[in-house]
Each structure stands twice: as C-alpha cells, then as structure tokens.
Structure 1
Amino acid sequence: MELRPYQNQAMASVLNEWDDGIKKTLLVLPTGTGKTIVFSKIIEEKVMEGKRVLVLAHRSELLEQASDKLYKVSGLKTSLEKAESTSLDSWERVVVGSVQTLMREKRLNQFELDHFDVIIVDEAHHAISNSYLTVLNYFENAEVLGVTATPDRGDMKNLGIYFESLAFQYSLPQAIKEGYLTPIKALTIPLKLDLTNVGQSAGDFKVGDLGTALDPYLHQIADEMVQHCMNRKTVVFLPLISTSQKFTSILNEKGLKAAEVNGMSKDREQVLEDFENNHYNVLCNSMLLTEGWDSPEVDCIVVLRPTKVRSLYSQMVGRGTRLFPGKEDLLLLDFLWHTERHELVHPAHLIAENDEVAQAMTKISEENPNVEMDLEELEVQGAEDVIEQREEALAEKLKEMRKRKRSLVDPLQFEMSIQAEDLSSYVPSFGWELGPPTETQLKRLEKEGILPDAVDNAGKASLLIDRINKRKEAGLATPKQIRLLERYDFQHVGNWSFDSASNMISRIAASGWRGAPKGVNPKEYKPEI
C-alpha cells in the first residue's frame, strides 16, 4: 500500500524519535486520515527488524480493526491477548491486546519484562489512565507510540505526563485543505437548552443529568432535524440509552427513518448494515459509535451529548469527516446550550488554534442562526477578530516595543506581526519543552534577530526557530526586517515578502533614514504582491 505524503512523513518522524532515543512518543492524526494504516506500516518495519509488537486498546472493535488493517497493509497476522485467548503459545510477532485483560497482575506476570520491544497505544488519550499505565510501566523498556486524533491543549499536557514528545501532528484544516477529509459546515440552531442544573463528574457533564435536561426539548430538536436532516445521512449522539430510544421514536413519528443502537442491542450488526444500505437515514446511539466504527457516507452529525472534552467531541464528529463519492460537506448541528461556564466544546474547537479564536468563531456563528457556515472561513474571520482585539489591548505595549532603540525584535511583536496565534498562545506540554532554552537555541534566535531574553522555555524557542526556517523557505520578511520597518510605523510587516521588505528598507536608506519615503503613509501602506 502506497502511503500519502503526510503518512510517510508521520512514519519517518516516529522512527526518527525512537532512533534518537526518545522511547515514548505521540502521533496525532485526525479521524479519517489513516492512523491505523500508519502504525501498521511502522509495525511492519519493526517486525522486519525481528521485534515483537503489542497493539494495546480498550475495545474489541479497535483490536479487530487493527488486526484487519495490519493484515491488509502488510500481510502480517496477529495473535490475541484477551479474556481466554492468549498469545503466549503463538509464534506471531504481533499481539493485539485488551488493556482490561493485560492490566491484571496474574496475566502480566506470565510475560517477561522485555517480551515486547514495541507497544502501540491506539486512542492514546486513554493512555494516562491507571489500567494503561499498569501495562506500559510493566514493559518499561519498550518503545511506545501513542496514536490519537487531535487532542486539545489540556489533553496534550496530560499526555505529557507519560509521553516524552510529539513526533508528528497533522491538523484537521490541513487534511481538509489537501483534500483528504470533507469540508465541515456548522449550523447554529436558535434553540436554547438549559444545562445549568447538570452536575459534573470526572471533568465532564454527568450523563444521567444530561438525559433529564434534554428530555423537555426532544420534540423541538426533532422538528429542527426535519428541516435540516431529511436529505442527509445523519448520526445522533445522545447521553443515555433510554434518551436515544425515546428520541428515535420521536424522529420516526416526524417522518424521518431512524434506528437506534446501543451496547445491549442484540441486532446491532444488522441495524448498522441496514443503515449502510440506506434503510434508515438517521442512526441514534448513546455514545457507542465514538470509536471503531466508520460510515463514510455520513454527512450530518448531531451532538446531543454536550461535552467539555475536545477529544470526545472530535471522536463524535470524526464519524462524518471521511470522503465519499458525491458527498460535498459534513453538516454539524450546534444548539445554544445554556451553561454558566464557557467550557463547552463547539464545532469551532475542531479547528481553532486556541480557545480565544474558538469563542470568537462561536459568537459569529450564534449571531447568524440557521446559516450554514464553512468552518475554515469562520476560522479566518474569528482569528481576524481576535487579532484586532489583541492589538487594541496590546496597542501601547506594541507601540513601546516598536520604538525601542535596539536591533532585536521582541517575540511578542514578531508573533503579532506574522499573526501567529499558535506561537503567542503556546503552552509547553512535554518535559523537554518545559526546560530553559539551550545555548544553541539562544544564539540562533539572536542571530536571526529575535530577543532571546524574552523566550523562557525550550519548546517556545524550538517553535520560533522552526517558524523562522519555514518563513525563509517561503521568502517572507525576516525578524530584523520586521523590527526595522515597524519602527517606522509600517504595519504587519510579517505578512510582507522578503523582497518587498528589502526594497522598502533600501528606499528608507536612500532618504537618509529620516522616515518613510515621500508619498508613502506607513500606517496604510501595503506592498504589491
């Protein structure tokens, strides 16, 4: 199987981390971009080296999926470590194992400490739970790869407790832009659902309370779905089996063809098959289909299980992001959940660089109810609003920075000039990122024109250097050019090309460095592209 360019890059990055002695690394790929294919190719590489590999997961569907994909990609067969099935008598080099089985002391002690050379953790956002850590710490000398869909900053920081690095990350916007995933549209429904009395447990809303809170609104939600989902293949996520079953009946009463599946459904396989064959156009479930199930034809997702956990929300939406012939976009219905906190995950959080931009996007969407809004276009608008607000708040500080008589540019000024939200909102996650910048990093930053004293951790220094390198390759203005031209009141020089900046500096020099060239208003000037 020929890998896509980003999949090749992901595989190479993981192997490089291990070669460099970083044993515990992460791979972040959005749902639908082939994470199982990537780790299958990595497994194939390691088996060719004579290594033993364990694929660790918490659900049967994930184990079966990994085993099937590995065989299709590489021809490698697996043995199973789950319940009564044991891999100890098998000569297969790859084991797919249930964490619930392997975490048991009696089961673990049947293995030598060095039995596995490599461990792949599927859905790695679960990896810092006690059950996973019991297994991972037992095989402490193994090389570990955690694979997950895009986590939020909180998840990443938590994962940094165990994992040492992020080997490779491919973003949802990148995947959409490069044509590997379906464009996403968000539709805000002006129906206010009150969550103020919903309790919380383990960092999220209590599902029991959610079911009670949703109940009064089910008929109104169904009416909205009649308007927007009649001609779409839709998956609805609900908090409780009873709520899911009740809502399915209501949808059928309204004229939609709906079915319901849950963990107790004896006819689950038949219902899923019937959904695939278009006997139903709406499939309701109480969080059963978040992992290990795919139906590429799905083009509408309705999340009626509000959450504060971005990884969970991403899993739900990921059921509809895959490409399918004739599928133009994925529609997300977003309701006006009324809660006292601003911690609720919305469609904007799928692609926003930070919470500030996500909140700006959500506000725009809520101000335009019943209007389908492309998430990428919404993100651009939201980011512009945030930058404008930030610049207003930081106006005096930036003005002072630009007027300072020094040759180096403050990192904040550089970040604002190039509109790098990911840099200005960066928070270190892994151990090495939290440490101070190295002497090599500090010297490189100073050489490139960045004031090193204002960079307080190695992670930020690494990101800045990487961004400077990429800007050089793209032919964009350097930090030194930005520093000099913004002292003369030119705006957003970070968006200029190197040649445009160089040309303007030459014109200023020709006039004796007395100010902007004659006839040029620096605050309004934009170079020709």
Structure 2
Amino acid sequence: MDLGEKELIVNSEAGNLLTELVESIQECERFYFSVAFINFSGLQLLLDPIKEAETKGIKGKIITSTYLNFTDAKALERLKEFSNVELKVFVTDKEIGFHTKAYIFDYKDHFKVIIGSSNITQSALKSNIEWNVKIISKEEAHFIKDVIKEYNNLWEMSVEADHDFIKRYEEFLERFKKSNHAQNIIYEDRKYVVPNRMQRRATENLERLRSYGENKALVIAATGTGKTYMSAFDVKSFNPRKLLFVVHREEILKKAKETFELLLPNEGYSFGLLTGNHKQKNSDYVFTTIQTISKCYQEFSKDEFDYLIIDEAHHAASPTYQTILDYFDPKFTLGMTATPERSDSHNIFDIFDNNVALEVRLHEALNDELVIPFHYFGITDIESIDLSDVDIDDIAEITKRLKVNERIDFIIDKMEFYGHDGEKRKALGFCASIEHAQYMASEFNKRSYKSVILHGGDSSEKRQLFITKLEDPNDNLEFIFSVDIFNEGVDIPSVNTVLMLRPTNFPIVFIQQLGRGLRKYPNKTFLTVLDFIGNHSKTFLIALALNGSRYYDKESLKVAIATGFANIPGATHIQMDKISQERILEQIDQENFKSMKYLKEEYHEFKKLKSGRIPFLLVDYLKYDGAPDPVKFINKEKSYLQFVAKVEKHDQLKKLLLNENFEATLKELSSKLPIKRIHDFVILKYLLTHESISIQIATEQILKVNKNVDKDTILHSFETLNQAYYDSGQLKSKPKLVQYRNGGLAKSELFTTLLQNEEYYKYMEDVISYGIFRYETEFRNEYYGIPHFKLYEQYQMGDAALLSNYRKIHSSFRGSGLLVNGKEFFLFVDLHKEVDVKESINYKDKFINQHLIQWQSVNNTTQESNRGQDIIFNKKRGVNLHLFIRKYRELDGKTEPYIYIGKGNSVQFEGNKPITVQIELEHEIPANLYTEFTKKVQSSH
C-alpha cells in the first residue's frame, strides 16, 4: 500500500476489521491498541494471531478501560497469559469517559494506524455498522508523532492490570450485576412486540395460502427461532373463536400459553391448560399435550376448534396424532417443526397438504439473528492419529485409533486456549461410538472435568436428569459426551461449547450437531466450536457443511475456504488452521463431484440418515438442511428412479421402468429440474387430478404460489407443454402429456393411462412436487416479470428462451455468446478458459470492478450494423442487455451453469469486428460473488 494512503474499513461481505487486524498482527514488528472495551467474544477471535506473534517474538501493548463496566474481567485474565503483551487499564470515573478505538502497528520502515469506532467485541470486529480509517505513514510524519505521543500519555495515566487489580474489578462487576439486576431486564410492552423477519414472512405466506382456500400448512424453522411467537401472530390475524394448541412435551406447554397471553391481551379470550393436573377445557384457547387430548378428544365436538396448532409436527405421522387430526375439523391447521425429516413412514408434507408456508435453514437463521453466532475453529488433529487408510464407516477401527491419551491432553489444551463464553463451561462432545464416548468421559473425569455419557439406549429419565444438571449453573457437570442422540430434538439452550471429536462423514449430521448450541439464552453471546480435523479421506465434507449451500461446485467451495467463509452472515467466525485448509483444498481438487463413485457415496450417506431406508422420493431430500442435491443423480441417469434402480440393483424398480412410456415421461419431467418457472409444473400438478385446465383456473393455481402472474406467460406455458417449441428430434423422442382442447389444456391419452397406475402416479407426482417445492425455496413467491430472471440464480442458455417467452424452436437458442429475443439481448460470458489453465488467457471478457464489466462481441459485428448499434447504444434504442456469467465452461468434465447478474448498459466502446464494450451493471455485484468470479485458488500441492 502507498504511504500516505487512507482507506475506509467497514464490516461487509468484502471484508471486515478482524481480517485487517489479524493480517497486521502477523506482519508487524510491534503493536499498540487502545480500546474502550474488550470482551471475550472479540478477544477469542484474536487469540491465534496474538499467540503466533508471541512465538515470533512480536511484542504488543494494550490499553482498555473500565468505562461503563463493559470490559470482561475474563478477557483481561486471558490477555495476561501472553508473555508478549503488556496490559493496562484506564480507570474511569463519572466525569471522564474513555472512548478511544485505535490500533497502531509498527513496521520496519512505516506505521499503520487504524482509528475508528470498533472495540474488541465479536460484533464490532465482524458485523456491526462500524467506520474505521486506516492510514499508512512514515515514522517522522507529523500525524504519526501525534498518535504515538498521545498513546504514551494514556499509557502513563493507566494502571497495570495485575492479577490483584483484575480480581478486585471482577468482584466489583459481580456486586454491580446483583445490585443492578433489575435495570438489566429488557423493557417488554406487549403492544410493542413486533414480528421478526421470519415471523412476518410466515404470516404473509399463511394469509396467502388461506386466501386460495388452503386449510393446512407447515412451517419449518430452526429451534429457537420463535415459531410459537409466529403462530400467535398468525392466530391474532386469523382471530379464531376457539383454538387448540397440541404439544409433545408438557414442559413447553406453559411457555406457549404465556406467549399467547402476552400477544393477545385485549382480545377477551380465556386461556387454559388441559393436562393430567389441569382441566381447563372450557377455555377459548386450550393448550394441551398429545397424551392428554388423545384420551379425551371425544368430549369435544368435531368442529369445536377453528384453529388447530400441532407443535413439533414431525410427530404428526404417528397413530396418536393421526387420530386427533382425523377427528377434528378446524378451519385451519398449522404444523410447526425444526426437523420435518423424523417421521418414519409417512411423509409429513402430505399431512399438511404439501403447503410449506416457510422454511428457515441455518444460514438464514444466522442472517436474521434468530440464533446466536458461532466461532468455529478447525484444528488439525495430532500426528500420531492416522486415519488416512481407514474406511470412515469402520466405527470400531476409528474408535480404536481415536483412543489415545495424548489426544485427550491436546483437546484439553485447545479447549483451555480458546476458552468459552460465560462463566461456566457447558459442553457437548460428539463421539464416534459408545466406547469412544465412555473413554472420553472417563479420561476427562480423571483430569477433574466432570463428565457423563449419554447414548440412544439411555432412558428419557436419564437423559432429562443429565440435561437438567448441565443446565443448572450450580451443578459442577461440564461435559456430556454423546453418540448421535443430540443430532436432533434435544434442547439445552445454555450449551456454550461443542467439541467435534469424530470424523465428519455427512454434512447434515454436522449441521445438526452444531445447531445444538445455537439456541439463544440469557447473557449467552456466542458458541465455541472446536473441530479436531483428522487426515481421513472425507475431510472436505466439513467445507460442504459450513458453506451452507445445497448446490455447490468445486470452485465456489475452494474460494469459500480460501476466504475464511466470508459469505457466512453476522458475527459468526470460521477459522481453519493452515494444515487443515491445505488438506481440504487438495481433497477438493482431487475429488470429482460428478463421478458415479462420489454420487453413490453421497446417496448412501443420505440413506444411512434415513435409518437405512431407501429414499425412493425426491421430496425426501428437501427435508434436511445439508442434504445432497438429487438433481446431480438425475443428471447422471436421466431420472432419479433410474439412479436408485442402478445403485440399489433394485429389480422391482427396474421392472417398473421397463414400461417405455413411463420411463420416457419420467425422463421428460426430470429434464426440467430444477425448474426456473413454476407455471408449467403447477399446471401439470393440477392435471394429475383433473381432466383439463383453463387459462382462468391456471391463473388461480399459479397465484397460490406467486404474487403476480401475466397472461402471456400462462399462454406460453400452455404452448410449451403442448410441445409447440420442440424440434423434430424432440417431437419424435419425447412423450406428449397434454393437448389443446376447447381453449384449454387436457391430458393426453398416454398421460391418462399412466396416471391410472398407482406406482407410476406416485413417481410422476414426486418429480412435479419436488420441482414446485424447490422452486418455492429458491424463488419464494416473488414475481420477476418477463423475462423471468432472478438475480444471482443459475441458468443454462436454453432457459433464456423459455423465460423470455421465445416463440420459436427453443433448441436453436445456443451457440455464440449473444442470443436475442426482440429487444431482450442475452450475453453469455465465460471468464476463464478452463480450470487447469494456470493463466487466464481469455478473450477480453472480464470484470473491471464490482459494477463494470468488459465484454467483446463476436468477431463479425461492426459498429455500423444494426446489431452493433443495438449493443453500443442499447439504452437509447430500448434494448435490454442481460448478463450471464460463469467462471469456467466445464468442471469435472460437465458443462457449468451461468449466473445471472442482472441488466447493464453500454457506457464505452472501441474497435470493430469485434467491438469491445464496457457495460455498467444496474446492480453492483455482491462482494462474495465478485470474489468467487475473480479469485483463482490453487492448492499448494
């Protein structure tokens, strides 16, 4: 960086103050900080760089203050442990405030000074709105002299933070907390409890579904995201005369009732509990357990309740719940669950008429601050543990190799180094087997860390006992070591530490385990996750889990790892040591994510999660956060059923697929996945159970899932389904499912015949339902107009024909980088030639910055031609330039999709045959996507 240059540092996807501080501590010769507040949530993120500085002999001075009693005594204690850091505290009084936030770095021939608004807290370093200015200057510069002089003055005025000082400060904070406790209670007035973003989205969607005559819906949202509040908001707007709220466990019942009483204070309704001990069944709003209501439901009339809520709706497939659901006839039924995947045989989606009003996955929950941030540290396991030659499913062998005393000391050492949030550690350790968990608990107990083990075979009383002990701040239990049972359904909100002690063999399990510690809890600010990463062959799966995207490719994963998962929202922090990072990058380079071998492994891992039951349906994959993308299986074998038949060597399925019409229809429907326009599939779904569909009915059906719809697109949809835009080859090979009749569409004879067979029906319906569900997750109910493109979504060239209502043969929509439909111009750009080409030797297509891209036309285009004029004066001539970008044409031998980055306008041009044009984007490209397009990651091997 040039001397004298100034730069503004803000927290954004492009970077944050933490990244800047980490780099600076690693590269400087000395450092000096002066910050008003240091709390442990921020310090934990700087422990590794300070430790590295200590190893290199880099010394530092840190001043903080007692201002507003915000600095943690724990953070001061932790800093004292570093031999390279001198620590002082400015003791403030009522008259003098202490507000400095300055970070000074001394290099061989210059200084770097960062002054701004950020203290050392997780939010200030990563996610708050903060402004910090970085200035680089020579030591003799006037500004630097002033800064150093002022720093030295402060140093003199501050007191040394010795252990005696910290102890006294800690005791004062304890007294302060007790005396001031009442003031710490958040002011909560029922009139001002407003829905968060998730709750608003859910209630809007429920309203929409009801307006189209639907009377059941399911909400899927992570534990702790406020589903009970959401249901109360919806009840408030629905205003039922009588309500029944059914839960699975009694302990959540009172809390649910209190939430409703808080949010519906003036509606004049009475609220009552119906349990073993409470019999307030004449109340307007009755809160009951499934155990109680299943014994006395017949005492109520069938239409007694207008609104029925089933909490933890994943249990709804069990016979007890089915009895209740079959008996009552409410105007509306709402199911709520964090984990829709746990029902054994029934599809829980079917129970709620396949209406998913909302789905919130981990990344969204972090983004909406519905859960607390986590600090993940990926730590390379000790060298003496070698898992490189062991099958990840050979649990006995893995257990044997992990039972090493030296590893216990290493884990404890890291645990003590990184520390945890809050005064007392509350930890879950995930082990490979019961034997491994027993070993861990026994070794931890020997070292005075009070530990117990829990596994699937333990009674619910035993589980509850240990959970209660871990929750109790006065109990000395610190660790529960477990095998798989905490993946789902168990809630210990106060957990502040998670230890991953076994190889990750599937992203879903990893996410479920991580999720155990993300519940909000009073005074809990973050979760510490320590993952001990071995050298087994599936290490890269951690990256898949953390990346949070179900649809990924090699390149985006490599960029995510190299940038420390900059795309993860909020104050969440992901850090992997260099060895783990290199190991994972190398594995990703070597792995072919599209090979049959890899796809089979992914499929079998998913099947294991379903207790070994074959996932016959595509919709099974929608139920898990972190499930594989089954469209990859379809791309391999033309239909999901073909893939399963092949992998399972399943004779019944193979026999089913011998019917040529069924097989061809399945392939035809599957080839449309993932759908980019919902209209066609909504029409087909309606035709599954009706003879024909008119424009009017199609409009009504589409409006159930989309905010708006235009007639031309519905017409185009009818024409597309009628194969109006197929070429002669397609017409020959593809089955005709519909035909025009009386101005609408009717089922063809072939389709009607197939639908009469129950098995065929089930699998065809599955493809259609999956297409619609996935569309709703990715596109929500937004209206995108014509052409129907969503920013930053993936598209193939041919999609542009469909989505712009192109009325000629669609297969002609390919070839050069420019395709045209009237005034809509589609520019398809490849940024690099191929992955393995070290240099980027592309034509002139490249990003200049986040809002400017350079593009070169095909070789024969002149500035004078009509086409040339349309491109260079697009705005004046009413031409829309739509830009589609991909980094590489191919990865792992398969064509890559493009990403739509919106429209742009030509602002500069030069040359002839070809013309080189600079196009300004209407939407500045997001930082993480820009990084992904422009960064090349080479693993060092």
What's the TM-score bracket when you normalise by the shorter of the two chains?
Answer: 0.5 to 0.7
Whole-angstrom CA distance in 2 between matches of 1:308 and 1:373: 19
- AA aligned opposite 1:133: Q
Deviates more, 1:156-165 or 1:469-478: 469-478
Q: Secondary structure at the match of 2:412?
A: helix
Q: How does 1:288-299 map to 2 (within 5 A)?
A: 290-291=488-489, 293-295=491-493, 298-299=496-497
- Residue 169 of structure 1 is matched in structure 2 by 359
Q: Distance in 1 between matches of 2:686 and 2:555?
A: 29
Alpha-carbon shift at residue 11 of structure 1 (Å): 1.9
Q: Take 2:535 and 2:261, find their aligned partners in 1: how far apart are those partners? A: 44
Summarize the alignment of residues 44-443 of structure 1 with structure 2, pairs less than 5 Å apart.
44-46=236-238, 48-50=239-241, 52-74=242-264, 78-82=271-275, 84-85=276-277, 87=279, 89-104=280-295, 107-149=296-338, 151=340, 158-164=347-353, 165-184=355-374, 185=376, 187=378, 192=387, 196=393, 214=399, 217=402, 222-223=408-409, 225-230=411-416, 231-232=419-420, 233=425, 234-237=427-430, 247-254=440-447, 256-258=449-451, 263-264=461-462, 268=466, 271-275=469-473, 279=476, 281-284=478-481, 287=485, 290-291=488-489, 293-295=491-493, 298-300=496-498, 302=500, 310=508, 316-322=513-519, 327=525, 330-331=528-529, 333=531, 348-349=544-545, 352-354=548-550, 357=552, 376=568, 439-440=698-699, 443=712
The one-character-per-residue Cα deviations of 1:236-288 (angstroms, maximum 9, x if unpaired) are 3569999766643322324545466773268557623434x695553446747
Q: How many residues align?
A: 472
> Paired residue for 1:403?
none
Partner of 1:444: 713
Q: Contact 1:124–1:147 (CA<8 Å) still a contact in 2?
A: yes
Q: CA deviation at 1:127?
A: 1.8
- What SS class does the counterpart of residue 7 from structure 1 fall into? helix
Aligned twin of 1:12: 204
1:145 is displaced (CA, Å) by 0.9
Give the 3-state SS of the residue equivalent to 2:272 in structure 1.
strand
1:37 to 229, 235, 254: 229
**Partners of 1:241 and 1:285 within 8 A in 2:** yes
Indicate the SS of the match to 2:310. Answer: strand
Q: Are 2:218 and 2:335, in contact at CA under 8 Å, matched by a contact in 1?
A: yes
- The alpha carbon displacement at 1:179 in A equals 3.8
Asked if 1:511 is matched to 2:865, the reply is: yes
Q: How does 1:434-473 map to 2 (within 5 A)?
A: 439-440=698-699, 443-444=712-713, 457=768, 460=771, 463=776, 466=781, 469=784
Alignment CA distance shift 1:445-1:130 (3 Å)? same
For residues 183-218 of structure 1, what are the alpha-carbon distances to aligned partners after superposition, in whole Å with 9 as ceiling and x for unaligned? 4537376564866467xxxxxxxxxxx9x9858745
Task: For 1:187, give the aligned amino acid.
Answer: G
Give the direction of change, closer, same or farther, for the CA distance of 1:329–1:117 in structure 2 (3 Å limit): same
Provide the rounded CA distance (Å) in 2 between the counterparts of 1:91 and 1:309. 47
Cα distance, 1:228 vs structure 2: 3.9
In 2: Cα distance, 1:129 partner to 1:258 partner: 35
- 1:23 equivalent among 205, 208, 215: 215
Counterpart of 1:176, as a letter, is L
Question: Per-residue displacement from partner, 1:108-143 (whole Å, max 9, x unpaired)?
Answer: 333322233222122222222223222211214452
Query: How large is the RMSD of aligned CA atoms in angstroms?
Result: 6.1
Contact kept, 8 Å, 1:296 with 1:321, in 2: the verdict is no
Q: Is the 8 A contact 2:225 2:370 kept in 1?
A: yes
Which one has the bigger helix percentage? 1
Instruction: Give the residue type in structure 2 aligned to 1:251.
Output: F
Compute the displacement of 1:444 (Å): 1.5
Q: Alpha-carbon deviation of 1:25?
A: 0.5
Aligned pair in 2 of structure 1 residues 118, 351: CA closer, same or farther (>3 Å)?
farther
Residue 287 of structure 2 aligns to which amino acid in structure 1?
V
Task: Please give the per-residue CA displacement for 1:57-86, whole angstroms capped at 9, x wherever unaligned.
Answer: 22233334423433444457743344x346
Distance 1:81 1:218, change over 3 A: farther
> Cα deviations across residues 155-188 of structure 1 (Å, max 9, x unaligned)?
9992222112011223321232344434453737
What is the DSSP-based 3-state SS (H/G/I as helix, E as strand, rest coil) of the residue aligned with 1:109? helix
Q: 1:112 to 1:345 in 2, by over 3 A?
A: farther
The Cα shift of 1:152 comes to 6.4
1:488 lines up with 2:685 in the alignment? no
1:423-457 CA-to-partner distances (Å, cap 9, x unmatched) read 69xxx99x958959975469526769996659984
Answer whether contact 1:248 1:259 (CA < 8 A) is retained.
yes
SS at match of 1:91: coil
Contact 2:392–2:503 (8 Å) recurs in 1: no
For 1:28, the aligned partner's letter is: I
Decide whether the 8 Å contact of 1:25 with 1:145 is kept in 2.
yes
Q: Quote the Cα distance in structure 1 between the aligned partners of 2:445 and 2:675.
A: 45
CA distance in 2, matches of 1:444, 1:128: 38
The separation in 2 between residues aligned to 1:121 and 1:115, in whole angstroms, is 16
- SS of the counterpart of 1:160? helix
Residue 6 of structure 1 and its aligned partner are, at CA, apart by 2.6
Give the secondary-structure state (helix, strand or coil) at the position aligned to 2:299.
coil
Identity of aligned residues (%): 17
Output the TM-score relative to the length of structure 2: 0.39
Aligned-partner residue type, residue 491 of structure 2 = W
Structure 1 residues 264, 170: CA separation in 2 closer, same or farther (over 3 Å shift)? closer
What SS class does the counterpart of residue 303 from structure 2 fall into?
coil
Give TM-score, length-normalised by structure 1.
0.64
1:168 alignment partner, SS class? strand
The secondary structure found in structure 2 opposite 1:13 is helix
The SS at the match of 2:472 is helix
Q: Which runs of 5+ in 1 are unaligned?
A: 199-209, 398-409, 416-420
Partner of 1:401: none
Deviation at 1:291, TM superposition (A): 3.7
Deviations 1:392-448 (A, max 9, x none): x99xx9xxxxxxxxxxxx999999xxxxx7969xxx99x958959975469526769
Contact 1:334 1:347 in 2 (8 A): no
Cα deviation code 1:475-505 (max 9, x no counterpart): 9999469999974325359x99999899989
Contact preservation (8 Å) 2:232, 2:259:
yes
> Structure 1 residues 266-275 or 13-22, which shifts more?
266-275
The whole-number CA distance in structure 1 between the counterparts of 2:912 and 2:323 is 66
